[in-house]
Amino acid sequence: MAGRWAAALVFTVLMDRQRLSSIAHTHHPIAAPIFGVNVNRLLRRADRRPNARILDLGCGEAAWALQALAHYPDGHADGVDTSPYALERAAAAAAVRGLADRLTLHERDARSYVPDGDHDLVMCVGSTHAFGGFTETLELAGRHVNPDGVLLVGEGYWQAPPTTAALAGLDAKPEDFTDLAGLVDSAERAGWTPIFAHLSTGAEWDDYEWSWVGSLTEWALDNPGHPDAAGALAAAREHREQWLRGYRDVLGFATLVLRRG
């Protein structure tokens, strides 16, 4: 679930982008600016039934799906992502937690994925770019939610008016995001009503970004002879500059718990 802000980074490394993202999320498999305790709060508010069917679109390392399974002792989850590196880590994490028999991973594009029936909980956190944006995610991912199910979506928003530096750091236009009220309005226009939401704090953002930058930097320093080490280090520094001098305290992140209504 590499977010829109990470997807905007212009990588200048030889390493393929998915591999780079996997390394950058080594110490933060949630892959969004959210602490684990708040992931649990969101999943509790999305609670439907013990045998829930769960779908995580753009699942990355399936941290959300695996934690959801802890809340649904008889449930089953499907995780969909295009990154073989992330899915490999997801499978390993599921095995360690004894959840491998309740998690099915699919290496394919979330937009074209056709599930076997509807789901009680569908999640897309930090991966709305896979569908073309927030509104498109509500429409396309929402098709997989059963009539009384929950759609959990994490998306960026302008928590302050976007500056020139923020737009440059994100390779974004002002209209790429709305403010928080506009985000909620978009959900309601699409037929979804928020029943809960979490707004990522500055501490959560800092933890996520330092983890992203630090993991990539550490990998480069630990592998100085690797042909991609110098490029990875440069990418980490570039991302750090884009964040610290650009979109820090400008871009927010909201995770909405939605039901039809």
**pLDDT tens across 11-26, in order?**
443 467 888 888 999 9
pLDDT at 231 over 50: yes
Q: Which CATH class is domain 35-201+254-260?
A: alpha beta
Percent of the chain with pLDDT over 90: 84
pLDDT 10s digits, 166-218: 999 999 999 999 999 999 999 999 999 999 999 999 999 999 999 999 999 99
- Tell me how far CA of residue 142 lies from CA of 55, 145, 199, in angstroms: 11, 5, 21
- Furthest CA-CA distance within the chain: 56
| Segment 197-201 long-range contacts (CB within 8 Å, at least 24 positions apart) | 197/254, 197/255, 197/256, 197/257, 198/34, 198/38, 198/41, 198/42, 198/254, 198/255, 199/252, 199/253, 199/254, 200/32, 200/33, 200/34, 200/252, 200/253, 200/254, 200/255
Read off the pTM: 0.92
Domain boundaries, the chain: 35-201+254-260
Residues 6+ apart with CB under 8 A from 228: 13, 14, 15
CB 152 within 8 A of CB 161: no
Q: Which amino acid is at 220?
A: A
pLDDT 10s digits, 74-88: 999 999 999 999 999
pLDDT at 148: 92
CB 154 within 8 A of CB 6: no
